[in-house]
Amino acid sequence: MYADSRFHVSDRAQIREFIERYPLATLVAFDGANVAATHLPLLIHDWGDALVLRGHVMRDSDHGRALQRSPSIFASFIGPDAPILGSWQLTPSFGGTWNYMAVHVRGEIHFPGDDVLIEHLALLKNTFETSPAHRFDSLPAGYVAALTPMIQCIDLRVSDIQCIFKLSQNRCLDEFDLTAQHLQRRGDKSALVAAEMLTRRNHYYPNAASPAARREDRQ
């Protein structure tokens, strides 16, 4: 993770909210000979002091087999990102950088039984399905029964978690606001980064006036 402590987030509620908003993880396993990586949604199960991330993989796959032999697992969650241009800054000697949000997780994999697998698949579908008529209970029993033997439920029991929100909070307020304005104009993913920046602006600069008020002061 980036060494600058100003970008690090330790608040568990913020980290949980981020993972729930961006649940698609890159899951990496190393079985001693090969590295296997895959992308899959992981849902948070916070049981007391233990943080567990639950997902599922295909049993007959390189990743499924690597998970069986890997003593430790790495997973990363990535939010919106965007390049930050030197031409947007007031500092002449600024070459540019990249804003992004990420959570890194390390832990051990455990394999719950088929009853937990069914619970997980139901929760996963019902969490993201918007139509009441297409919830998990609406699926034909034969469809579920045919798929589940090919799927392995996995629990990543977290031993270490690190979070970084690199959102220009190390720049002066004028450069922060200018950067957010340029990102908004670029639209698409850059606008999502701007929205994340502005959501946290009061936290990063607690004594600052609003962007609109600052623009009026300059006029």
pLDDT one-digit tens code per residue, 4-32: 899 999 999 999 999 999 999 999 998 77
Q: What is the pLDDT of residues 126-136, one digit of tens each?
A: 999 999 999 99
Q: Where do the DSSP E strands lie in 128-171?
A: 151-166
> What pLDDT does 4 receive?
86
pLDDT at 212: 64
- Determine contact, residues 193/168, Cβ cutoff 8 Å: no
pLDDT digits (tens, 9 = 90+) for 146-202: 999 999 999 999 999 999 999 999 999 999 999 999 999 999 999 999 999 999 999
Indicate the pLDDT class of residue 92, thresholds 50, 70 and 90: confident
Average pLDDT over the chain reads 92
- What average pLDDT does this structure show over 139-145? 92
pLDDT > 80? residue 1: no
80-114 residues labelled b (16+ CB within 10 A) or e (exposed): bbbebeeebbeeeeeeebebbbbbebebebeebee
pLDDT value for 107: 95
Cite the residue boundaries of each domain of the chain with CATH code 2.30.110.10: 5-166
- Indicate if the pLDDT at residue 122 is higher than 70: yes
pLDDT > 70: what percent of the chain?
95
Q: Inform me whether the pLDDT recorded for 214 exceeds 70.
A: no
**Alpha helices per DSSP H over 8-70:** 12-21, 62-69
Specify whether the CB–CB gap between 176 and 197 falls below 8 A: yes
50-59, 66-75, 116-125: the lowest-pLDDT one: 66-75
Res 216: pLDDT: 58
Phi (first) and psi of residue 27, to 5 degrees: -105, 125
Distance CA 177, CA 183 (A): 10
Phi-psi category of residue 33: left, alpha or beta, with phi > 0 → left and psi -120 to 50 → alpha: alpha
- Given a contact cutoff of 8 angstroms between Cβ atoms, the answer to whether 100 and 192 are in contact is no
**219: pLDDT strictly greater than 60:** no
pLDDT at 213: 60
Q: Which fold has domain 5-166?
A: Pnp Oxidase; Chain A (2.30.110)
pLDDT of residue 215: 60
For 168, the token pair is: 């220009």
pLDDT of residue 31: 79
CB neighbour list of residue 136: distance below 8 Å, 6 or more residues apart = 121, 122, 125, 126, 129
- Whole-number pLDDT of residue 169: 96
Tokens of 184: 């908004």
Tell me the pLDDT band of 123, cut-offs 50, 70 and 90.
very high
Look up residue 61 and give its DSSP letter.
Answer: S
